[in-house]
Amino acid sequence: MTVTIATLGFPRIGPRRELKFALERYWSGKSSEADLLESAAGLRTAAWARQRALGTDWLPSNDFSLYDHVLDTSMMLGAIPERYASADGDATLATYFAMARGSTGDGAADCGHAHTRGGGETALEMTKWFDTNYHYMVPELVAGQRLALGSAKIVEDYREAKAQGFETRPVLLGPVTWLSLVKGRDVDPFDFLDQVVGLYGAVLSQLSAAGAEWVQIDEPCLVLDLSYRQRHAIAQAYARLSRYGVKLMLTTYFGGLEDNLPFALTLPVAGLHVDLVRAPEQLGAVLAEAPKSLLLSLGVIDGRNIWRADLPALLDLLEPIAATRDLILAPSCSLLHTPIDLALETGLDPEVAQWLAFAVQKIEELGILKRALNDGRDSVAKPLAASARAAANRRTSRLIHDAAVAARIAAVTPDLLQRRSAHAPRRAEQQARLALPLFPTTTIGSFPQTAEVRQARSQHGKGLLDDAAYDAFLREETERAIRWQEDVGLDMLVHGEFERNDMVQYFGEQLAGFAFTRQGWVQSYGSRCVRPPILYGDVSRPKPMTVDWWRFAQELTIRPVKGMLTGPVTILNWSFVRDDQPRSASCRQIALAIRDEVADLEAAGAKAIQIDEAALREGLPLRRKDWQHYLDWAVECFRLSAAGVADATQIHTHMCYSEFNDILTSIGAMDADVISIETARSQMELLAGFASYRYPADIGPGVYDIHAPRVPGIDEMVDLMRLARTHLDADQLWVNPDCGLKTRNWAEVRPAIEAMVAAARQLRAEA
C-alpha cells in the first residue's frame, strides 16, 4: 500500500508578502496589469516548485487568487451583480477589483465582519470564512439572474502549471458551499442549484479535456449542521458532477462530518478528505464505513495552527491504517491559514521556535511521515527523533509551564466571577459618582491612526526615533485628543489609543506567554495580512500595561477618561493558541491577567473601564450543539476579567457586530454596566431583542457607521436614537459611534462627532 502527500492549498501572499505589494502598486497606478499578472504568475511558479521540492505528490492549482477564492468562484459562474457589469458585458480585472474593493477602494476597519466602503460603487460584503480570520467576498444572487460560464481561471492555471512541468490537482470550491455562502436578495440561492451545477459540469469537462485526472472539490459546508435543502443539493450536485470524467476528491475541513458522514459516504466521488486535527474522533467511523475503493485523504497536520506535530505519535496511529489501504496524508485544511516559512524567523527564542511549524515545515513533516510509512521508520530515524524531542521539551518546558499561574487558576472560586452587588445598586452608585447627563456621549476608544502616527511608530520600531522622542510624540497626540474631546463636549473621554499598533498585539507584547514573528504573515483579506501573536505558554502580566497612558490622559481633564482594554476572548480568538490545553484554559489565564490590569486601573482612579470583546461572537463553534459550552466559558472569562471592581466602577464592553438575538442570554450574563454595539446600519432593529430580553444595563447603540467615510448629519442620528427610544428607556441609552475611529481621518471624525454631540443635546432637550 502506498502513501502520498497533498497540501490542499498553499499560502498565496508569498514569503515576503510579494502579492500584497504587487497589488498595491497596481491599485495605485504605479504598475500595469501586465506587471501584476507577471508577479502573480511568478508566485504561482515559486509555490509549485517549492511544494514539489518538499516532496508533495498532489500539487494544488487554482488555490492561488489575486484577492479571494470565493470571489474567483463567483467570477467563474458569472455571478456578477448588475451594478458591477461593464457596458460590453466583459468581466475584466477592473470588474473583479470593483467587486472586491469598490470602485474607489477605501480602507476598512478590522472588526472582522461585513464592511461597506464609500465612494463610487461599494464593494461586495465581506465576512469571515467559517471560523477562520480569513475574509471572503460574499456572493450575491437576485431573482431572475442569469449565470453563465465566466472566468476560465481554473483551467488556465491548470494549463499554466502543466506547461511548466507541474501536474496538479485543481482546487475548486464546491457548488453547495458556494451556494451556502451566497446572500440571496429576495431569492433562495438554492433555486440556482441546477444552473450552478450545470456550470460546474462544464468546468469539470474543460479540466478533463485539458488533462486533469483529479479535482479537489472543497465542501467545508459538510462539517456544518446541514438543512434538508443543503443535503438534497449535495446529493443532486454530486450525482451529476461524477459524470464528467474527472475524479473528485471531496474535501472537508474545519470540523468533523459527524452526522453527515454516512451521507457523505453515499456520494459518488473517488476520494474523501477528512480533518483529523479538529475532529480526530471521526477516524474510527471513517475507516469502518468508507469502502476500500474510496481514496482517503487524512488531514493529520494542523493547517490552522503553527505547532510542530509529534510525528512518532502520529505514526503509531497511521501505521496500521497504511498497512491496509492506500492513503493520502495532508494538512487538515489548506495551508492558507498558516504563515509560510519558519526559517525566516530569526528573532524567536530558539526553544520556542523548535515547537513551531509553518506551511513549509508542515509539508516537510508530511514528507517524513510518508517516508516512514512507505520505507519504514528507520529511513527517517533522525527527523523522527528530533520531532519527539521537541514534543517532549514542549511538555515540560519552563517557558510554558508556570507553577504560579497554575496555582492561581486552581484558586479561582465562583465569587471571583461575581460583582459585589446586582446591577441596579451598582448603577445608582455609578450615576452618583459620574454625574453624567441623560444620553451621555462617548467614543469606542481609538482616534485616527494618521500617517504621522504610523510613521512615528514605524520609525521608533526601526530605531530611528528614540523612546523619549516617540513618547513625547504620543503625549502630544493624546493631549490634543483630550483637548478636542473637551471642546467638542463629549461626556466620557478616551485617551485615543495612539500608542497601540493593534488591539491584540499591544497586549500580547506585554504579557508573558506570547511570542511575535517578523514574517509570520497570514492573509486576512485581499492584500491585507496580519501577524497573529503566538500564545505558547502560561499567561501572566509582569507589570501594568495601560495604566500610565490612562493616568496621563486623566490628569489632563476633569471629565472621566475610560480605561481601555482588550478582553480575554478577543485576545484568544485573534491569536494562534496552544493546542496542549483547551482554549478555555488559555482564555482563563488571559482573563486573570486582564483582571490585574482592571484592578490597577481602578486603583489609579479610573471610574470607568472598557473591556472590548470584538471577537466574542466570531468564536462561536461551527455546530450549534457546541455553542453553549463556548459561550459559558467565554462569558465566565469576561466576568473573571471584570468582576473584581467596586460597585462604583463602571464596566463597559464593546462588540462590533449586530447579530445578538441568538446569544442575548450570554450577553446579559457578561454583566457589564454599559455595552456599545453596532446598529447604525440595521436601523436599531436589534434593540427589539434587547428590549424583550429586558436587558437591564446601559446600551450605546452605534449611531455613526465608522466603516464608511460618509459624515452623518445631526437629524439622522437623532432619528436613530428616537428609534432606540422606542425599544429602551431613555436613561438606559448612550450615544456613540459603532466602533473605534482609527481607520478614519480627522476631517471625517471632527464633524461626525460634533454632530453626534449636537444630536445628544437635542435628545436631552426633547426628553
SS3 call for 512: strand
- Cβ–Cβ under 8 Å, residues 550 and 41: no
Q: How many CB atoms lie within 10 A of CB 450?
A: 15
Q: Retrieve residue 749's grid coordinates.
A: 471624525
Residue 597 binds which of Zn ion, ligand GLN, none (CB < 5-8 A, kind-dependent): none
Q: How many residues bind ligand GLN (CB under 6 A)?
A: 14
Q: Which residue's CB comes closest to Zn ion?
A: 656
- Cβ–Cβ under 8 Å, residues 348 and 517: yes
Please give the distance of CA 216 from its chain centroid, rounded to a whole number. Answer: 24
Q: Which positions from 429 to 458 touch ligand GLN by CB under 6 A, shown as an x/- string?
A: ---------------xxx------------
Check residue 612 for interaction with ligand GLN (CB under 6 A).
yes
Residue 591 or 614: the one with the smaller Cβ distance to ligand GLN is 614
Residue 564 binds which of Zn ion, ligand GLN, none (CB < 5-8 A, kind-dependent): ligand GLN
Residue 51 or 441: the one with the smaller Cβ distance to ligand GLN is 441
DSSP string, 587-603: HHHHHHHHHHHHHHHHH
Check residue 252 for interaction with ligand GLN (CB under 6 A).
no
Residue 257 or 749: the one with the smaller Cβ distance to Zn ion is 749
Residue 493 or 503: the one with the smaller Cβ distance to Zn ion is 503
DSSP string, 275-344: ETTT-GGGHHHHHHHS-TTSEEEEEEE-SSS-BPP-HHHHHHHHHHHHTTS-EEEEESS-GGGS-S-GGG
Check residue 739 for interaction with ligand GLN (CB under 6 A).
yes
Catalytic residue among 113, 273, 654, 707: 707
Q: Which positions from 52 to 91 touch ligand GLN by CB under 6 A, shown as an x/- string?
A: ----------------------------------------
Residue 331 or 740: the one with the smaller Cβ distance to ligand GLN is 740
Q: How many CB atoms lie within 10 A of CB 591?
A: 30
Please give the distance of CA 639 from its chain centroid, rounded to a whole number. Answer: 23
Query: At its nearest, how many Å lie between ligand GLN and the CB of residue 114?
Result: 14
726 contact partners, CB below 8 Å, separation of at least 6: none
Among positions 113-142, residues that touch ligand GLN (CB under 6 A) are: none
Query: At its nearest, how many Å lie between ligand GLN and the CB of residue 442?
Result: 11
- Cβ–Cβ under 8 Å, residues 193 and 591: no
Check residue 503 for interaction with ligand GLN (CB under 6 A).
yes
Closest CA to 652 of 729, 565, 571: 565
Q: Retrieve residue 268's grid coordinates.
A: 459518488
Stretch in the footprint of ligand GLN (CB under 6 A) among 80-88, 186-194, 596-604, 737-745: 737-745
Give first-to-last CA distance, the chain, whole Å.
Answer: 79
Q: Which positions from 614 to 633 touch Zn ion by CB under 5 A, shown as an x/- string?
A: x-------------------
Residue 742 binds which of Zn ion, ligand GLN, none (CB < 5-8 A, kind-dependent): ligand GLN
Among positions 632-691, residues that touch Zn ion (CB under 5 A) are: 656
Check residue 720 for interaction with ligand GLN (CB under 6 A).
no
Residue 40 or 656: the one with the smaller Cβ distance to Zn ion is 656
Please give the distance of CA 267 from its chain centroid, rounded to a whole number. Answer: 32
Check residue 654 for interaction with ligand GLN (CB under 6 A).
yes
Query: At its nearest, how many Å lie between ligand GLN and the CB of residue 594?
Result: 14
Q: CA 544, CA 514: separation in Å to the nearest integer?
A: 16
Closest CA to 391 of 364, 367, 360, 356: 356
Query: At its nearest, how many Å lie between ligand GLN and the CB of residue 530?
Result: 13
Q: Retrieve residue 113's grid coordinates.
A: 465582519
Query: At its nearest, how many Å lie between ligand GLN and the CB of residue 20?
Result: 22
Q: Which long-range contacts (CB under 8 A, 24 or more apart) does 417-426 make?
A: 417/636, 417/639, 417/640, 417/643, 418/639, 418/643, 419/642, 419/643, 419/645, 419/647, 419/671, 420/646, 420/647, 421/647, 423/671, 423/673, 423/696, 423/697, 424/696, 425/647, 426/647, 426/648, 426/673
| 707 part of the active site | yes
Q: Binder to ligand GLN among 614, 663, 675, 733 (CB under 6 A)?
A: 614
Closest CA to 127 of 573, 613, 618, 678: 618
Q: Which positions from 363 to 392 touch ligand GLN by CB under 6 A, shown as an x/- string?
A: ------------------------------
Q: Binder to ligand GLN among 3, 79, 111, 327 (CB under 6 A)?
A: 111
601 contact partners, CB below 8 Å, separation of at least 6: 546, 547, 550, 563, 565, 609
Query: At its nearest, how many Å lie between ligand GLN and the CB of residue 648?
Result: 23
Query: At its nearest, how many Å lie between Zn ion and the CB of residue 736?
Result: 11
Closest CA to 536 of 511, 516, 513, 520: 513
Check residue 564 for interaction with ligand GLN (CB under 6 A).
yes
Query: At its nearest, how many Å lie between ligand GLN and the CB of residue 617?
Result: 12
Bridge partners (DSSP) of residue 733 are 699
Among positions 99-138, residues that touch Zn ion (CB under 5 A) are: 111
Check residue 756 for interaction with ligand GLN (CB under 6 A).
no
Residue 111 or 400: the one with the smaller Cβ distance to Zn ion is 111
Residue 338 or 446: the one with the smaller Cβ distance to ligand GLN is 446
Check residue 679 for interaction with ligand GLN (CB under 6 A).
no
DSSP state of 624: G
Stretch in the footprint of ligand GLN (CB under 6 A) among 204-212, 520-528, 705-713, 735-743: 735-743
Check residue 608 for interaction with ligand GLN (CB under 6 A).
no
Residue 446 binds which of ligand GLN, Zn ion, none (CB < 5-8 A, kind-dependent): ligand GLN
Bridge partners (DSSP) of residue 273 are 251, 297
Q: How many CB atoms lie within 10 A of CB 557?
A: 14
Angle, vertex CA 195, rays to CA 190 and CA 196, nearest 5: 70
Query: At its nearest, how many Å lie between Zn ion and the CB of residue 614?
Result: 5
Residue 600 binds which of Zn ion, ligand GLN, none (CB < 5-8 A, kind-dependent): none
Residue 133 or 145: the one with the smaller Cβ distance to Zn ion is 133
Residue 300 or 656: the one with the smaller Cβ distance to Zn ion is 656
Query: At its nearest, how many Å lie between ligand GLN and the CB of residue 614?
Result: 4
Query: At its nearest, how many Å lie between ligand GLN and the CB of residue 451?
Result: 18
Element (H, E) at 249: strand 247-251
Q: CA 37, CA 287: separation in Å to the nearest integer?
A: 44
Q: Which residue's CB comes closest to ligand GLN?
A: 740
Stretch in the footprint of ligand GLN (CB under 6 A) among 92-100, 127-135, 171-179, 738-746: 738-746
Check residue 589 for interaction with ligand GLN (CB under 6 A).
no
Q: Which positions from 720 to 739 touch Zn ion by CB under 5 A, shown as an x/- string?
A: -------------------x
Check residue 756 for interaction with Zn ion (CB under 5 A).
no
Check residue 656 for interaction with ligand GLN (CB under 6 A).
yes
632 contact partners, CB below 8 Å, separation of at least 6: 666
Q: CA 380, CA 384: separation in Å to the nearest integer?
A: 6
Angle, vertex CA 36, rays to CA 30 and CA 38, nearest 5: 130
Check residue 740 for interaction with ligand GLN (CB under 6 A).
yes
- Residue indicated by cell numbers 482609527: 742
Query: At its nearest, how many Å lie between Zn ion and the CB of residue 616?
Result: 11
Q: How many CB atoms lie within 10 A of CB 398?
A: 9
Which of the residues are catalytic?
A: 707
Which residues of this chain interact with Zn ion, rule CB under 5 A? Answer: 111, 614, 656, 739
Which residues of this chain interact with ligand GLN, rule CB under 6 A? Answer: 111, 444-446, 497, 503, 564, 612, 614, 654, 656, 739-740, 742
